[in-house]
Amino acid sequence: MNERTKYILDESRLPKAWYNINADMPIPPEPVLHPQTLEPVTPEFLSVLFPMNLIMQEISRERFIEIPEPVRQVYKLWRPTPMFRARRLEKALDTPAHLYYKYEGVSPVGSHKPNTAVAQAFYNKEAGTRALTTETGAGQWGSALAMACNFFGLDLEVYMVKVSYQQKPYRRIVMEGYGAQVFASPTAQTDYGRSVLATDPNSPGSLGIAISEAVEVAAKSGGQKKYSLGSVLNHVLLHQTVIGEEMLQQMEMAGEYPDMVIACTGGGSNFGGFAFPFLRENLQRGKNTRIIAVEPAATPSLTKGKYTFDYGDTAKMAPVVKMHTLGHDFMPPAIHAGGLRYHGMSPQVSALVAHGYVEARAVNQLATFEAALLFARSEGIIPAPEPTHAIRVAIDEALKCKETGEEKVIIFNVCGHGHFDMASYDAYLKGQLEDFDYPAAAVEAAMAHLPQVG
Amino acid sequence: MNERTKYILDESRLPKAWYNINADMPIPPEPVLHPQTLEPVTPEFLSVLFPMNLIMQEISRERFIEIPEPVRQVYKLWRPTPMFRARRLEKALDTPAHLYYKYEGVSPVGSHKPNTAVAQAFYNKEAGTRALTTETGAGQWGSALAMACNFFGLDLEVYMVKVSYQQKPYRRIVMEGYGAQVFASPTAQTDYGRSVLATDPNSPGSLGIAISEAVEVAAKSGGQKKYSLGSVLNHVLLHQTVIGEEMLQQMEMAGEYPDMVIACTGGGSNFGGFAFPFLRENLQRGKNTRIIAVEPAATPSLTKGKYTFDYGDTAKMAPVVKMHTLGHDFMPPAIHAGGLRYHGMSPQVSALVAHGYVEARAVNQLATFEAALLFARSEGIIPAPEPTHAIRVAIDEALKCKETGEEKVIIFNVCGHGHFDMASYDAYLKGQLEDFDYPAAAVEAAMAHLPQVG
């Protein structure tokens, strides 16, 4: 019997290509629509925000896209990441299930986000972009992109939600440490920011406002600056598949194959990156693995939202896509998994859920922190609040195996460490956290504001 | 030519034994003295605080001490840790030197401290200890011991310096997350704490006070509780040698051997753990590697202190040992490398410096943060303030190689990440940090209070 705890791939086995789910989507793609005309967008429209090489990746149907060597060279600073057999957690649960987790927290910024940040910075540099703009909430995405821009010599402007800028300074300092400029959004530097401040000078900001500011700056830069997004889009999910491609090799090292693949999902990039290579095995090689996307009950786009056309952002400046949505004017409750608070969802993940290729599940935050502490006390690692959603479901499934006696192989992704999120644990330990089920009536009401797509 | 970035050992190559420098010390050992009688201590005296199995390790002359299997099982949660060729830093410096660094920040608590915490928890559990007590400043040691005690089912009481408890809550929450009890020291729970509070009810606390509280609780527990220390003692340095033993194997993978071995030093455990296996190669196999211990100019025990007998703690309750000391009543300035602010030094490291087997160097904090940002922007990793001292000297030596054209092989230890220390980077980036050279006159004055050892 294999007694290993940690499965590490040699650097030579770092994947040479990303996997593009578009090559194998079992459902015909839906068009991406212009936010004003609601007609299908052209690459030229998108090129105001993104360089053409990334737009080509966005719409590519090629199954495997080669990872450029300069990107692989940066990946090697922390990749391949380890996979662990969760032996101590299995023991704590007294389950016959075999639990394995991938750990992305070993990256320099502590999460999976650099997998696409590095690729986007590289392609922008190739395309002649001088600077990138982006938004960030708690700062996980912004810090990844700051590191990536630094490596490829791009300037970076980060519009950080003001309340996070003030209350969560650590990741802001990380961004500044890598040389990025960080602004508390809303700012007085953009038309949209000024309009918000005119109405409410004390606005705490929101991700929607920050997106609109970052988009505006790029759109008005005359091509000098491009905008970068950390989730939702196909090219972002594509870059994240390096996680699942490594995991496939590591499961082979372990001599097992998963019955269940579990990851948390906000915009879908962590989930897609981990799960899509296993989905390919389902679609192409007749494997029958259950693939489970886990979201917060407080932001339940997949489990309570509608699968319909909606704007990607609050200000209706981003394209309209068919996806699971809570409505673009959704106001996320103040739960602690800041990375999972988006109103919509990757169109690919949405379509796969809508057609039954992926299961969706929602869990509430008290249960996720309970699972997180059990995980931390078993495996040592204190996870970020986002992956605790996947950990919760993995534990639930392992406990079902205890009842049935089944030796199922369950794998899940721990997409980041929680060292920047200890205030959330403090609130949980002090009994200050509450559960929140997003009301179905609010979703119904939001549907009245959807774009009227033929 | 070898083009690797990252050198990872397979789990099977996790060292099976720690290396005990006492077997090869080229200098006869000095006695350890009782703090009241100033006579050599007996194991029985030490056994009030430590279990006998650790006391036996403390005085052992055996060259290799087997790492117990349950300790290796926990080590495997993050060990072997990676070694990197710092190719991007070399390029940024335009140096012909080959730079390699070991990275201990991948441990669940982000530092090297668990290497001994896990071993101490295991041996205490074996010896029937019910609970451990310890002190912590910023919390790096306390969080490592909290994780370790959790794994072996021991209770833990941590006396945390009050000002850190209030101003740096993140690592306190980490400790509580693992199930430890954390008290703001001085407390009203100990005689010593009450005496401090009687004089100054608003005392911000100090590491010296916290040590005295933790020691008192263990000493008065009737054997139920033992005390645990995170540095200075031989058994602590012993457990840390797993770092250097791995590094030796990884340098072999790289096909190179170091001309220089560099690590930072506060009490000496990170330095000893990294450097002693290479020192053994010097002593036993005629290697001629320069071994450099780097300390802050603000707490310069090795470079400005005296090599003499002194108390291990401020309250004169700990044994008296021969070491480099700034005087046991040394008040450390508020520099940001909290882990390097001890008045004394490991007796082994002290003796090796005194007799020329190890070089000592002091650097000031502005230069270390400058080096840290260059490192972070080159290699991605944001280091804790402590290892930036080693990074500074490695960079200085690499720049000398640039002048001379020498292709020296320089290795250094990055003993932890800085994700809990971003406030220090913020202060640096805002220009709020200052350099501080500890005055020689203060050392002279402190020498008047040394114990009068025949």
Cβ neighbour number for residue A202 with a 10 Å cutoff:
6
Q: What confidence tens digit (pLDDT) does each residue in A154-190 have?
A: 999 999 999 889 888 899 999 999 999 999 999 999 9
* CATH class, A6-14+78-110+240-447 region: alpha beta
Evaluate whether B418 touches B382 at the Cβ level (below 8 Å).
yes
Evaluate whether B84 touches B98 at the Cβ level (below 8 Å).
no
CB-closest option in B11, B171, B379 to A77: B379
A106 contacts in chain B (CB < 8 Å) = 106
Q: Does B110 touch chain A (CB under 8 A)?
A: yes
* CB proximity under 8 Å: B 359-378 to A: 373, 376-377
Window from A2-16, A252-266, A328-342 with minimum mean pLDDT: A328-342
Q: Which of A419, A428, A432 to mutate to test the interface with B (most CBs of B within 10 A)?
A: A419
Burial of B38: CB neighbours in 10 Å, binned 0-12, 13-18, 19+: middle
Phi and psi angles of residue B320, each rounded to the nearest 5 degrees, phi first:
-95, 130
Q: From the CA of A85, how many Å to the nearest CA of chain B?
A: 10
Tokens at residue A79, please? Answer: 């990749």
pLDDT over 80 at A454, yes or no:
no
B382 contacts in chain A (CB < 8 Å) = 108, 174, 177
Q: What pLDDT is attached to residue B206? A: 86
Q: What pLDDT is attached to residue A2? A: 62
CB-closest option in A11, A110, A179 to B419: A110
Give the separation between CA A117 and CA B53, rounded to whole angstroms: 50
Q: Does A73 touch chain B (CB under 8 A)?
A: yes
A10 contacts in chain B (CB < 8 Å) = 8
Q: What pLDDT is attached to residue A92? A: 98
Inspect the interface and report whether the beta carbons of A76 and B382 lie closer than 8 Å: no
Inspect the interface and report whether the beta carbons of B170 and A423 lie closer than 8 Å: yes
- Residue pointed to by tokens 């943060």: B369
Inspect the interface and report whether the beta carbons of A169 and B8 lie closer than 8 Å: no
Evaluate whether B305 touches B370 at the Cβ level (below 8 Å).
no
Of A82, A96, A101, A110, the closest CA to residue A375 belongs to A101
Give, in order, the Cα–Cα distances in Å from A150 to each of A211, A230, A378: 21, 17, 36
Number of A:B CB contacts under 8 A? 119
Q: Which of A2, A3, A78 to mutate to test the interface with B (most CBs of B within 10 A)?
A: A78
Give the separation between CA A58 and CA A71, rounded to whole angstroms: 18
Give the separation between CA A389 and CA A414, rounded to whole angstroms: 10
Q: From the CA of B155, how many Å to the nearest CA of chain A?
A: 13
| Amino acid (1-letter code) at residue A22 | N
- The ipTM estimated for the assembled molecules is 0.94
Q: From the CA of B71, how many Å to the nearest CA of chain A?
A: 13
Q: Does A108 touch chain B (CB under 8 A)?
A: yes
Asked if domains A6-14+78-110+240-447 and A17-67+113-234 share a fold, the reply is: yes
Q: From the CA of A230, how many Å to the nearest CA of chain B?
A: 19
- pLDDT band per the 50, 70, 90 thresholds, residue B2: low
Phi and psi angles of residue A99, each rounded to the nearest 5 degrees, phi first:
-110, 130
Burial of A60: CB neighbours in 10 Å, binned 0-12, 13-18, 19+: middle
Inspect the interface and report whether the beta carbons of B108 and A380 lie closer than 8 Å: yes
Q: What confidence tens digit (pLDDT) does each residue in A394-427 have?
A: 999 999 999 999 999 999 999 999 999 999 999 9
Q: Which of A147, A156, A422, A432 to mutate to test the interface with B (most CBs of B within 10 A)?
A: A422
Q: What pLDDT is attached to residue A73? A: 96
Mean pLDDT over each residue of chain B, to the nearest integer: 95
Of A122, A67, A141, the closest CA to residue A342 belongs to A141
pLDDT over 50 at A118, yes or no:
yes
Phi and psi angles of residue B182, each rounded to the nearest 5 degrees, phi first:
-120, 130
Is residue B141 helix, strand or coil? Answer: helix
- pLDDT band per the 50, 70, 90 thresholds, residue B1: very low
Burial B238-254 (b: 16+ CB within 10 A, else e): bbbbbbbbbbbbbbeeb
Window from A240-249, A259-268, A350-359, B197-206 with minimum mean pLDDT: B197-206
Of B230, B231, B229, B233, the closest CA to residue B22 belongs to B233
pLDDT over 60 at A441, yes or no:
yes
pLDDT over 90 at B337, yes or no:
no
- Residue pointed to by tokens 């009737």: B222
Give, in order, the Cα–Cα distances in Å from B116 to each of B72, B107, B144: 12, 12, 9
pLDDT over 80 at B454, yes or no:
no
Helix, strand, coil shares of chain A as percentages rounded to 5?
45, 15, 40
Q: Does A170 touch chain B (CB under 8 A)?
A: yes
Over range A368-396, report the average pLDDT. 97
Q: Does A254 touch chain B (CB under 8 A)?
A: no
Over range B156-171, report the average pLDDT. 92
Inspect the interface and report whether the beta carbons of A377 and B178 lie closer than 8 Å: yes
Q: Does A27 touch chain B (CB under 8 A)?
A: no
Tokens at residue A362, please? Answer: 């929602």
Question: Which residues, including other chains, have CB under 8 Å from residue B291's CB and lie 6 or more apart?
Answer: B260, B261, B275, B278, B279, B282, B357, B358, B359
Over range A42-67, report the average pLDDT. 95
- pLDDT band per the 50, 70, 90 thresholds, residue B246: very high
Give the separation between CA B97 and CA B83, rounded to whole angstroms: 16
Q: Which of B13, B71, B78 to mutate to test the interface with A (most CBs of A within 10 A)?
A: B78
> CATH: 3.30.1360.30, 3.40.1350.10, 3.40.630.10, 3.40.50.1100. Which one for B17-67+113-234?
3.40.50.1100
Inspect the interface and report whether the beta carbons of B429 and A176 lie closer than 8 Å: yes
Q: What pLDDT is attached to residue A428? A: 96
A380 contacts in chain B (CB < 8 Å) = 74, 77-78, 107-109, 147, 151
Is residue A368 helix, strand or coil? Answer: helix
Q: What pLDDT is attached to residue A313? A: 85
Give the separation between CA B36 and CA A35, rounded to whole angstroms: 81
A414 contacts in chain B (CB < 8 Å) = none
Question: Which residues, including other chains, have CB under 8 Å from residue A306's CB and lie 6 or more apart?
Answer: A324, A325, A443, A447
Question: Which residues, including other chains, have CB under 8 Å from residue B389's CB and lie 6 or more apart?
Answer: B264, B294, B295, B296, B337, B340, B363, B368
Q: Does A344 touch chain B (CB under 8 A)?
A: no
- pLDDT band per the 50, 70, 90 thresholds, residue B43: confident
- Percent of chain A residues topping a pLDDT of 90: 88
CB-closest option in A178, A419, A420 to B377: A178
- Residue pointed to by tokens 């993050």: B78
Give the separation between CA B250 and CA B101, rounded to whole angstroms: 10
Q: Does B254 touch chain A (CB under 8 A)?
A: no
- pLDDT band per the 50, 70, 90 thresholds, residue B318: confident
pLDDT over 90 at B330, yes or no:
no
Mean pLDDT over each residue of chain A, to the nearest integer: 95
Q: From the CA of A378, how many Å to the nearest CA of chain B?
A: 7
Inspect the interface and report whether the beta carbons of B77 and A4 lie closer than 8 Å: no
The domain spans of chain B are 6-14+78-110+240-447, 17-67+113-234
B78 contacts in chain A (CB < 8 Å) = 380
CB-closest option in A170, A382, A426 to B108: A382
| Amino acid (1-letter code) at residue A168 | K
B377 contacts in chain A (CB < 8 Å) = 150, 177-179
Q: What pLDDT is attached to residue A336? A: 81
Q: What pLDDT is attached to residue A1? A: 45
Give the separation between CA B288 and CA A145, rounded to whole angstroms: 43
